[in-house]
Amino acid sequence: MTPLETALAGLWLMLPALIPNSAAVIWGGGTPMDFGRSWRGKRILGDGKTWRGFVGGALTGTAFGIFQIWLASALEAEPGWGFGDWPVSLCVVLSLSFGSMLGDSAGSFVKRRLGRGRGSKTPGLDQYSFVLGAIVLVLVFQQTWFRAHYIEGDGIYGLALFLVVVPVLHRVANIIGYKMGKKNVPW
């Protein structure tokens, strides 16, 4: 594959990490993950992180990832465009999707410790906490897959494109959520 194809494939393979964060807004509501509890005088996560949003977001990302696995198989895609064999591919998709939601929750935990309220801007943390969570979880469970797709050879182009595109996609998704009435602020 050319460096451009590798970069685009890298972005394609990270969609199960991108989708959950936006899907959580649609699924959200209900019981807060921290059950309303505080730690050291501040909410642990806040009302914006709910079990319904967490599970719904992660399962939406997983469902899309399974669709990608099926599509790569049906189209007999080059190895760089797929997640690999079935047990590995499912583990990667689950790690990216649930890791994304864990990273987003960890970002909320940090924001609460910094005294930031729900919906307040925290540049960098807002855009990359879910990315970091997804990457860490996939490194824990499928380090070889991550290295092969994002580190070795031209794989770094895929990681670079992904990291550059994330803030733009994050902003667009938040504006859409705001216009749908699912978010109080467009960031």
Mean pLDDT in residue range 17-35: 92
In tens, the pLDDT along 79-126 reads 778 898 888 999 999 999 999 999 999 999 999 998 887 777 787 778
- pLDDT on residue 100: 97
Task: Report the pLDDT value the prediction gives residue 175, as an integer from 0 to 100.
Answer: 81
135-173 pLDDT tens trace: 999 999 999 999 998 998 888 888 888 888 888 887 787
In this prediction, residue 187 carries a pLDDT of 64
Higher pLDDT residue, 133 or 158? 133
Q: Which of 30-39, 63-72, 75-84 shows the lowest mean pLDDT across its residues?
A: 75-84
Residue scoring higher pLDDT (54 or 120): 54
The pLDDT value given to residue 35: 95
Count Cβ atoms within 10 A of the Cβ of residue 58 and give its class: 0-12 exposed, 13-18 middle, 19 or more buried.
Answer: buried
Q: CA–CA separation, 143 vs 127, rounded Å?
A: 23
Which residue(s) pair with 39 in the sheet? 42
The reported pLDDT for the residue numbered 139 is 97
pLDDT > 70? residue 41? yes
Per-residue tokens: 182: 């699912």
Residue 171, CB half-sphere, CA atoms under 13 Å: how many? 6
What is the mean predicted confidence (pLDDT) over 57-83? 91
Is 54 or 48 the better-scoring residue by pLDDT? 54
Q: What is the pLDDT of residue 158?
A: 86
Distance CA 70, CA 5 (A): 20
Give me the pLDDT at residue 120, please.
75
Higher pLDDT residue, 175 or 68? 68
Instruction: Give the pLDDT confidence score for residue 116 in this predicted structure.
Output: 84
- If phi > 0 it is left, if psi is from -120 to 50 it is alpha, else beta; for residue 77 that is beta
Q: What is the mean pLDDT of the chain?
A: 89
114: helix, strand or coil: coil
Q: What distance in Å separates the CA atoms of residue 161 and residue 15, rounded to the nearest whole number?
A: 13
What is the widest separation between alpha-carbon atoms in the chain?
Answer: 55
